[in-house]
Amino acid sequence: MISFESDYICGAHPLVLKALTETNMECLSGYGSDKYCDSAKEKIKKAVGIPEAEVEFLVGGTQTNSVIISTMLSDYEGVIAAKTGHISTHEAGAIEYTGHEVLEIPQENGKIAAAVLKEYLTGYFADENHEHMTRPGMVYISHPTEYGTLYSKAELSEISEVCREYEIPLFLDGARLGYGIMSYDTDVTLQDVGKLCDVFYIGGTKVGALCGEAVVFTKGNKPKHFLTSIKRRGALIAKGRLLGVQFDTLFTDDLYFKISKHAIDMAEKLKDICRAHELSMFLESPTNQQFVVFEDEKLKKLQKKVAVSFWEKPDKNHTVVRLATSWSTTDEDLAELDKALS
């Protein structure tokens, strides 16, 4: 049985595993103070194009969202996010666990609009009782979004501008950032993300690593004593090398971008196959996650041969499922899918 269930069904990209193996017996200090972490940080800063950026590694996506948001917000602040944002719905209340409110605003296809954001902020400050309400202290967006969609450079710039007007940092969740950057249909580069955001992360778990996310603070704004804050959230690992070696490899010879590109190529072919089988797409996604509407009977048949992810039920007889490609998807997988759909 083949699987398009997610982009984390396989282990690590072979080159990542090779690097872990080759460095395995080296004696290194713990907690991220090793040379591979240092090297990976340098490579990432270069790729982002901000020499003075500060980079830190964490283990997973929810952890990263929780650590960044809770260390950057002040006590009285909350974080604005789309109603469909990962932190709003699928992280089991991880932000609230840190004591902070997620201030949900309307979205379209997973994206928030600068105008909607501005309206929210204007409304907050115009309310005479706003000191009795959670103060907005950060804007969270995901790129690609939970629906695989992307912000255009213009859209991202507008959101960034609103944030600057209100002096609120913009945080971009890049759990799948590689797939966004390498989409056929984007004008947003990694450098743009660095310029327009105050903090963001480059996802490893879903783009070729066993685990790991690289957080980038772009404006000398890394929280003070960040290591202590990470530690007390249980998010500091002893063998920091595990993250350092992986990101060092991913950012050597553009591996991160090459494998992201591969996943995009595979996704475009997958879309062709869906079209050929006259399947209806739930929405237009230019990245590696594709949302397809199936008649329930047809889906049941497919699932005997292909693993996919349940997304939602638009009506009684149909189901939206997600098919994700990744660095590990092969042409053979696609051929099997094609056959299974026939």
Site size with a copy of itself, rule: CB under 8 A: 85
Task: State the Cα–Cα distance between residues 153 and 53, nearest whole angstrom.
Answer: 21
Min CB(130)–a copy of itself separation in Å? 9
Min CB(191)–a copy of itself separation in Å? 27
Residue 64 vs 285, nearer CB to a copy of itself = 64
Q: Residue 166: which H helix or E strand, with range? A: none
6 binds a copy of itself, rule: CB under 8 A: yes
CA distance between the termini of the chain: 16
Residue 159 vs 168, nearer CB to a copy of itself = 168
Residue 280 vs 330, nearer CB to a copy of itself = 330
60 binds a copy of itself, rule: CB under 8 A: yes
- Cα 209 to chain centroid distance, Å, stands at 13
Which phi and psi angles does 288 have, rounded to 5°? -85, -10
Min CB(226)–a copy of itself separation in Å? 8
Classify burial at 2, counting beta carbons within 10 Å of its beta carbon; exposed 0-12, middle 13-18, buried 19 or more: middle
Report the site for a copy of itself in 289-308 (rule: CB under 8 A): 307
Report the site for a copy of itself in 244-273 (rule: CB under 8 A): none
Q: Which of these segments, 16-24, 45-53, 153-161, 176-184, binds a copy of itself (CB under 8 A)?
A: 16-24
Report the site for a copy of itself in 93-152 (rule: CB under 8 A): 93-94, 96-102, 104, 126, 128-129, 131-135
Q: Which among 144, 264, 150 is positioned nearest to 203, based on CA atoms?
A: 144
Residue 20 vs 283, nearer CB to a copy of itself = 20
For residue 212, give every residue at least 6 positions away whose Cβ sits within 8 Å of its Cβ, in sequence order, or none: 57, 58, 59, 60, 204, 205, 242, 243, 246, 247
Task: State the Cα–Cα distance between residues 189 and 178, nearest whole angstrom.
Answer: 10
Task: State the Cα–Cα distance between residues 261 and 24, nearest whole angstrom.
Answer: 29
Furthest-apart CA pair in the chain: how many Å?
63
Report the site for a copy of itself in 229-248 (rule: CB under 8 A): 229, 231-239, 241-242
Six-digit token string for 274: 């869906």
Sequential DSSP letters for 54-115: EEEEES-HHHHHHHHHHHHS-TTEEEEEETTSHHHHSSTTHHHHTT--EEEE--BTTB--HH
Residue 34 vs 158, nearer CB to a copy of itself = 34
Min CB(31)–a copy of itself separation in Å? 8
Q: Which of these segments, 9-17, 154-162, 255-263, 283-291, binds a copy of itself (CB under 8 A)?
A: 9-17
Give the contact letters, 188-227, x = binds to a copy of itself (CB under 8 A), - = no.
-----------------xx---xx-----------xxx-x
Residue 104 vs 158, nearer CB to a copy of itself = 104
- Cα 55 to chain centroid distance, Å, stands at 16
323 binds a copy of itself, rule: CB under 8 A: no
Residue 99 vs 165, nearer CB to a copy of itself = 99
